[in-house]
Structure 1
Amino acid sequence: MRNKSIINLNLRWFLAGMIFANIAGQMAYSMLSLYMLDLGASVTQVGLAFTLASLVPMVLQIFGGWLSDTIGRLRVIAMGSSIAVFGYLIFAFAPSWEWVLIGLSVEYVSNSVVGPSFGAYISEQSSEESRGRVFGLTSGIYQTVTVIGPALAGFLAYQFNFQLMMRVAFGFYLAATILRVWMATNERFAPLKEASKPTFSGFKAQLIAIFALLLGGGVLTWIWVTDAVGDTSYNLIGQLFPIYLSDIGKLNVQQIGIVNAAIGITAIIAAPLAGSLVDKFSERAAIVTGFALNGLGLFTLLNSNSYAGFILAMCFFGIGNGSLMPAYESLISKVVPESKRGMAFGFFGTTLGLLSLPMPWIGAQLWERISPRTPFWFAVAANMISIVIAWFKFKLRDSQPVESPSG
């Protein structure tokens, strides 16, 4: 009963929109690399497409976070969804892989403006004492999409074709967009803080404040460092997962959908447990556990040659992701003042996007020029580095006195 009470009505509607949108996202992204190959792209061209499209969030995320703090979380989410829905429409009718690149660039608008508002909105709907459990529960609910999306995508692509699968994904995202626009325009969801007019001087002031927090040498600095290591390594291999399972693992698209769904099933279980771990002990414990399990998942993937082995690898990976998400969200919400949280999430996205920009292309080059396993071993090493940083640097008591006056 207590777990249900900490998810209020606003969060329930908010999560409903996120579930619809991310079922569409998981359907599309779990098969997008294979879809592009089916349309005539090479592995290098797939990597190049993801690299070029990632310019969009790199440029827009910091502005999306600032607008979230300025005009309101729900308004920004509705605006981003209303643009991104056209990306899914392009996916559904793309005649060539170049059109998929265009659709991907349009869809990334959603990542740019919706992403920074997600954690900030949940923070506002929870108390600090229960924030770990709220992030754990919302992450667990959100993770249902990583079960439904890939499995449904694999089934539709295998039984019918990629374009029909993409059209179903478009339907889910359209439903999410309608729900988000309703929330943004309904008085029931009006924010406590009045919207303010976006100005360049306001943007500059917020940016300076975030720089001061980030360069202060406290927890936020090291959060950024581990995020940089994690994001660059994930972007090195993210688009290669389905290709690896297809070419090296010899799985068909339906099996790939089920393997990917294993990530979601285990993350659903892990996220609420990680949230409780955060509230009872610390974010650091959950984050170190998450990185260790992610590394174990990648190691298992690289040493498996059976369907069951790949599922086991994704289970480790899912538990790791499920542990990391609520812990990171909770930690950031505690070291960044409420009025700057959207900007902080957006700043992270923009700066990390800049670092990660060439990674899909580099991953494809490592795949083709050295071996398909090489980029994945780099990701294993990145997880090990992050474990060390998190264990020694993620101590709130060391940095809270420095950062709290800015609130």
Structure 2
Amino acid sequence: MQRLWTKSFILMTLGLLFLFTAFYMLYPTLPLFIKEMGGNEKQVGLAMGALMLSSVVLRPFVGGLLDRFGRRPFMIGGLLLFILAMYMYNWVGGIIMLIGLRIVHGMSWAVSTTSMMTAVTDMIPSARRGEGMGWFSTSMTLAMAVGPMIGLGIMQGTSYQTMFLFAVGLSVVALLLTLGAKMPFQPHTNKKKIQIFEKSVLPVMAPIFFLFIAYGGITTFVPLFAEQIKVNSGTFFLVYAATLALSRPIAGKLSDKKGETAVIVPALIIAILALIVLSFSTSLLGVLVSAVLYGIGFGSAQPALQAITLRLAPEDRKGAANAFFSTATDLGIGLGAMVLGLVSEYMSYHILFMVSALSVMISFLLFIIYVRRLLKFKQLPSAKTSDSVSL
């Protein structure tokens, strides 16, 4: 069996863990920071969405450049800009300035994450795609769960400024870790036109987009919802993180043995149930049950969908495929934060989570109708088609 746990794979996986932890520390704390500055729900959604939408614009170009010039230059440049942007939160003086900073931060997020994720997928043996992607995605989504908890803890125990500086420190560690990794990908020597559009992966982008609309609602509004019902939102993210860490490696191996569809279909159903439970929650018990279900559902579906994305793409277009996947996730999170911000302002958080459940239902239907049929039609080989795929 081909070796998965190489030094470079470990360094890159840890680098992603630190980077994503720093990034997601801001998700529950920035809405509270904006409220403290005098902002409303609409401005919370705008500020949270501005980062994701700016990254959406840039990612397809980054993907094409990665396939032409390699991963390392963009990885280092993106991380340096990310560190600078994170530090600048200490100097924000108003909502307009914050939105401008979020746009710059989104650009750094697009470059750093697309290059790092593509570099990791280069390192995973094709025969262990599901397992490898399960572990590497676990580091990211574990950070998505642990990051908010750490951010809230530091903010509540000290100050926003201390939290921003801690996030800067984590980002520096991510940069140092990735500098020690070897990049197996060799840049193309031909002078063909740089391609930013990868049509082979378009069918799977819609299910991913609608899945991440709900995720945008979870990360942005669970802290505010928890505050309303007198529950510590850190508990939700802690239980979600623990569940995800336990379930994702199992889902990855199942994906290798039975195929991604066998994982995605039940996972999306469980995610829908999680959001419905959260919608009706009025106490800690409902929040905990929802966190467990969402950890299993979202945690299993996300890496399997990314695996399909990379398997659909040609071998020399992995950078573009990763960029498209991340574009769909960013667009979903960004628009989700904005649209659901309006829902929460004019309706309620309970309605917000029901709308989120509806979004995952749409993701489920699109996957069943289009993606599953496509996979059956093409009869995609699992591990034998490429030797540098992920998930």
TM-score, normalising length from structure 1? 0.84
- Partner SS, residue 242 of structure 1: helix
Q: Which moved more, 1:336-345 or 1:118-127?
A: 118-127
In structure 1, distance between residues paired with 2:240 and 2:188: 38
1:104-126 deviations in Å (ceiling 9; x for gaps): 22221233123333443333212
Taking a change above 3 Å as real, the CA distance of residues 113 and 264 of structure 1, as seen in their structure-2 partners, is same
The correspondence of residues 252-401 of structure 1 with structure 2, limited to 5 A, is 255-350=232-327, 358-392=335-369, 393-395=371-373, 396-400=375-379
Quick one: which amino acid aligns to residue 187 of structure 2? Answer: E
Q: For residue 228 of structure 1, what is the aligned residue in structure 2?
A: 209
- Among the aligned pairs, what percent are the same residue? 23
1:337-376 deviations in Å (ceiling 9; x for gaps): 1211211232344467667765433222221222332232
Q: For residue 189 of structure 1, what is the aligned residue in structure 2?
A: 182
- RMSD, aligned α-carbons: 2.8
CA apart distance, 1:23? 1.8
Q: For residue 102 of structure 1, what is the aligned residue in structure 2?
A: 100
Asked whether the equivalents of residues 271 and 298 of structure 2 are also in contact (C-alpha less than 8 Å), the reply is yes
Quick one: which amino acid aligns to residue 372 of structure 2? Answer: F
- Is 1:241 aligned to 2:225, yes or no? no
- Is 1:202 aligned to 2:193, yes or no? yes
In structure 1, distance between residues paired with 2:25 and 2:332: 27
In structure 2, distance between residues paired with 1:15 and 1:353: 20
- Partner SS, residue 243 of structure 1: helix
Q: For residue 217 of structure 1, what is the aligned residue in structure 2?
A: none
- Partner SS, residue 57 of structure 1: helix
CA apart distance, 1:265? 1.3
CA apart distance, 1:323? 0.3
**Aligned equivalent of 1:14, options 12, 15, 20:** 12
- Partner SS, residue 281 of structure 2: coil
- Is 1:132 aligned to 2:123, yes or no? no
In structure 1, distance between residues paired with 2:288 and 2:214: 21
Taking a change above 3 Å as real, the CA distance of residues 157 and 15 of structure 1, as seen in their structure-2 partners, is same
In structure 1, distance between residues paired with 2:149 and 2:337: 24
1:68-127 deviations in Å (ceiling 9; x for gaps): 212212332211111111221022343434443233222212331233334433332123
Quick one: which amino acid aligns to residue 49 of structure 1? Answer: A
Asked whether the equivalents of residues 147 and 261 of structure 1 are also in contact (C-alpha less than 8 Å), the reply is yes
- Partner SS, residue 25 of structure 2: helix
Structure 2 unaligned regions, length at least 5: none
1:318-337 deviations in Å (ceiling 9; x for gaps): 11122013212221221111
CA apart distance, 1:135? 0.9
TM-score, normalising length from structure 2? 0.87
Quick one: which amino acid aligns to residue 112 of structure 2? Answer: V
In structure 2, distance between residues paired with 1:54 and 1:149: 17
Quick one: which amino acid aligns to residue 155 of structure 1? Answer: G
Asked whether the equivalents of residues 333 and 341 of structure 1 are also in contact (C-alpha less than 8 Å), the reply is yes
Taking a change above 3 Å as real, the CA distance of residues 163 and 308 of structure 1, as seen in their structure-2 partners, is farther
Structure 1 unaligned regions, length at least 5: 214-219
Q: Which moved more, 1:355-364 or 1:262-271?
A: 355-364
Quick one: which amino acid aligns to residue 91 of structure 1? Answer: Y
Asked whether the equivalents of residues 132 and 276 of structure 1 are also in contact (C-alpha less than 8 Å), the reply is yes
Asked whether the equivalents of residues 217 and 336 of structure 2 are also in contact (C-alpha less than 8 Å), the reply is yes
Asked whether the equivalents of residues 64 and 114 of structure 1 are also in contact (C-alpha less than 8 Å), the reply is no
- Is 1:60 aligned to 2:34, yes or no? no
Taking a change above 3 Å as real, the CA distance of residues 165 and 16 of structure 1, as seen in their structure-2 partners, is same
**Aligned equivalent of 1:250, options 195, 207, 230:** 230
In structure 2, distance between residues paired with 1:351 and 1:317: 20
In structure 1, distance between residues paired with 2:189 and 2:135: 31
Taking a change above 3 Å as real, the CA distance of residues 319 and 369 of structure 1, as seen in their structure-2 partners, is same
In structure 1, distance between residues paired with 2:331 and 2:281: 33
In structure 1, distance between residues paired with 2:261 and 2:112: 26
Q: For residue 160 of structure 2, what is the aligned residue in structure 1?
A: 162
